[in-house]
Amino acid sequence: MKSFCLLLLAFCLFSCSGSSDPSENKSDNHVSTDTLPKYDSSIEKGKAIPEIKCLKDSSVNYALYLPKKYSADEKFPVIFFFDSHGGGNFPLEKYKDLAEKYGYILAGSNNSKNGMSWEQNEQQIKIFMEDVKSKIHVDSRRIYACGFSGGSRVASSVAIFDGGINCVIGMGAGFPSLSEPIHNRFDYIGFAGNEDFNMNEMIELSASMDKSPIKHQLIVFNGKHEWAPAEVAEDAFVWLEVNAMRVGLISKNDSIIKNFISKNENELTRLQEKKKIHDVLLICKKVVNYMDGLAEVTQFKTKIEELNKSDDLTKEIDRQRNLSKEEMTRQENYRNNFVLKDLSWWTNEIKKLNKQTNNKNDEGQSQMNKRLLGYLSLLAYMNVSSVLESNQLDLAVSFLKIYEMVDPKNSEHQYLFAELYARKNDNAKALSSLKNALTLGFSDYARMESDSSLLVLQNNPDFQKILNEMKKK
């Protein structure tokens, strides 16, 4: 986890593809229609379109959302999305109201997903992004990449390895592994739930960026390993807007600035009343980071200076640092013991973790144990996938039981149970597991329809019934 963070210290950033001189970027977004190429005018506005095939390669497709105000005679900023499961339309539906409010094009890859190497992914990402640019009038100075979990690492990879990205919005995961300094220039804003097993990674990444030229911000919200809720993700849109104002890409918008400061002042009052001294510090730093140079932030800087002299703050930071060390140690122990410990040991360990998540006297401990449960869920998934791939079916049964115990509401373990039983030619149990997966919310119709492990069920009427139910969803 620490390796990529240490590499950030060696950042060597050069100019990005756009001009670095604000005076060269102050031209109005409206351009002469005589100079414009022909853009696709048939794409419906104000509606998330789940699949658009690329002209260069029809196997590459993406979801697209054009705000109602979109016009081909005006340049618009675009955010390219990468979901960990290849659900390009999911973030578009989630953030389309924000796209309307701030005037952004949203485009989500349906091909990029976890399990693909960068070498497998890079070319189709280029095809996807170029297709969007060929059909829609995009402001080339305001191209952004956003992803969740593995998709967050993909979004960062586009900026790091290919360039042309003004800012990365990373949710639930940081950078890919790096073996050399980063040369492409981009801003960064990260999001992590306080129950996300990758939260500490995101905190370390942000701390490492403090020693780099990257302009960055980290938002920790109340949540799990998930796409940030729309009301939280609005901070990303504001981040993009104020940074564009700061370098002269767009005009200064006093309404956005005033609303942001007012919202955070209210949050500051709430946190001060609850005596959450470290959270107060983070809000003050956030306002300064967003607004310095655009608004008066002296009161927030003064508050930061006062808080940094507080013994209570020092104690709280030390406590959080110790919790982080404990969490990383326990994660390492779980990794080392996953195969070594039997089902009985894991049953007891998971019971203890679940009990400790309800510790009302220590919110930090409670959140840490929730993160550890999330980490165990991921660990179980990875180990199950590995032994299924190597056809170690008996071991897969044991691992799947751990997966089911640690994350009972996740549909994935039931789907993997179905694959396991189908390989064992136990069709009745395979179908029962698929029904359970459907009940828990499994909805990947394409995956189930093309899954070679389930070929033995293809002609079974019950299988077709489950498939049809999933298609309706």
Calculate the average pLDDT of the chain.
91
Q: Identify the weakest region by mean pLDDT among 209-223, 275-289, 350-364.
A: 350-364
Query: Measured between alpha carbons, how far apart are the two ends of the chain, in Å?
Result: 38
Q: Examine the pLDDT at 20 and tell me if it is beyond 90.
A: no
Reference 350, options 410, 414, 403; nearest CA is: 403
Q: What pLDDT is attached to residue 437?
A: 96
Q: What pLDDT is attached to residue 39?
A: 80
Q: Examine the pLDDT at 27 and tell me if it is beyond 70.
A: no
Q: What is the pLDDT of residues 351-361, one digit of tens each?
A: 999 999 988 78
Q: Identify the weakest region by mean pLDDT among 2-6, 64-68, 241-245.
A: 2-6
Contact 192, 173 (CB under 8 A): no
Q: What pLDDT is attached to residue 106?
A: 98
Runs of H (alpha helix) within 247-310: 254-273, 277-291, 298-308
* 248 alpha carbon, distance to own chain's centre: 28
Amino acid (1-letter code) at residue 194: N
Q: What three-state secondary structure class fits 402?
A: helix
pTM for this prediction: 0.89
Residue percentage of the chain with pLDDT more than 70: 92
- Give CA–CA dist 369/332, Å, rounded: 14
Q: Examine the pLDDT at 16 and tell me if it is beyond 80.
A: no
Q: Examine the pLDDT at 50 and tell me if it is beyond 90.
A: yes
- Confidence band of 13 (pLDDT split at 50, 70, 90): very low
- Give CA–CA dist 131/282, Å, rounded: 40
- Give CA–CA dist 462/460, Å, rounded: 5
- Confidence band of 29 (pLDDT split at 50, 70, 90): low
DSSP state of 455: G
Contact 191, 232 (CB under 8 A): yes
What does the longest C-alpha to C-alpha distance in the chain come to? 73
Q: Examine the pLDDT at 53 and tell me if it is beyond 70.
A: yes
Q: What pLDDT is attached to residue 368?
A: 96
Q: What pLDDT is attached to residue 180?
A: 85
- Give CA–CA dist 463/433, Å, rounded: 11
441 to 109, 411, 430: CA distances (angstroms):
22, 6, 17
Mention every residue, 6+ apart, whose C-beta is less than 8 A from residue 127: 54, 56, 57, 60
Burial class, 325, CB count within 10 angstroms (exposed 0-12 / middle 13-18 / buried 19+):
exposed
Q: Examine the pLDDT at 286 and tell me if it is beyond 80.
A: yes
What value does the mean pLDDT take over residues 307-311?
95
Q: What is the pLDDT of residues 443-452, one digit of tens each?
A: 888 889 899 9
Within 10 A of 56 (CB to CB), how many other CB atoms are there? Answer: 13
- Give CA–CA dist 286/279, Å, rounded: 10
- Give CA–CA dist 153/138, Å, rounded: 24
- Considering only residues 30 and 313, tell me which one the structure prediction assigns the higher pLDDT: 313
- Confidence band of 9 (pLDDT split at 50, 70, 90): very low
Contact 64, 44 (CB under 8 A): no
Residue 76, token pair as written in the block: 């618009």
DSSP strand pairing (167-171 vs 187-193)? parallel
Q: What pLDDT is attached to residue 195?
A: 96
- Confidence band of 37 (pLDDT split at 50, 70, 90): low
Q: What pLDDT is attached to residue 38?
A: 67
Reference 329, options 378, 368, 360; nearest CA is: 368
- Confidence band of 285 (pLDDT split at 50, 70, 90): very high
Residue percentage of the chain with pLDDT more than 90: 83
Q: What pLDDT is attached to residue 181?
A: 87
Detail the DSSP E strand segments found in 158-238: 167-171, 187-193, 216-221
Q: Examine the pLDDT at 412 and tell me if it is beyond 70.
A: yes
Under the phi-then-psi rule, with left for phi > 0, alpha for psi from -120 to 50, and beta for the rest, what region is 248?
left
Mention every residue, 6+ apart, whose C-beta is less than 8 A from residue 169: 79, 144, 145, 146, 147, 155, 189, 190, 191, 236
Q: What three-state secondary structure class fits 295?
A: strand
Runs of H (alpha helix) within 292-362: 298-308, 311-337, 343-356
The CA angle 329-332-334, to the nearest 5 degrees, is: 110
Q: Examine the pLDDT at 14 and tell me if it is beyond 50.
A: no
Q: Examine the pLDDT at 19 and tell me if it is beyond 80.
A: no
The CA angle 250-253-258, to the nearest 5 degrees, is: 150
Q: What pLDDT is attached to residue 204?
A: 95
Q: Examine the pLDDT at 44 and tell me if it is beyond 90.
A: yes
* Dihedral sign of CA atoms 95, 100, 104, 107 in order: positive
Residue 352, token pair as written in the block: 């203890």
Reference 154, options 123, 127, 130, 122; nearest CA is: 122
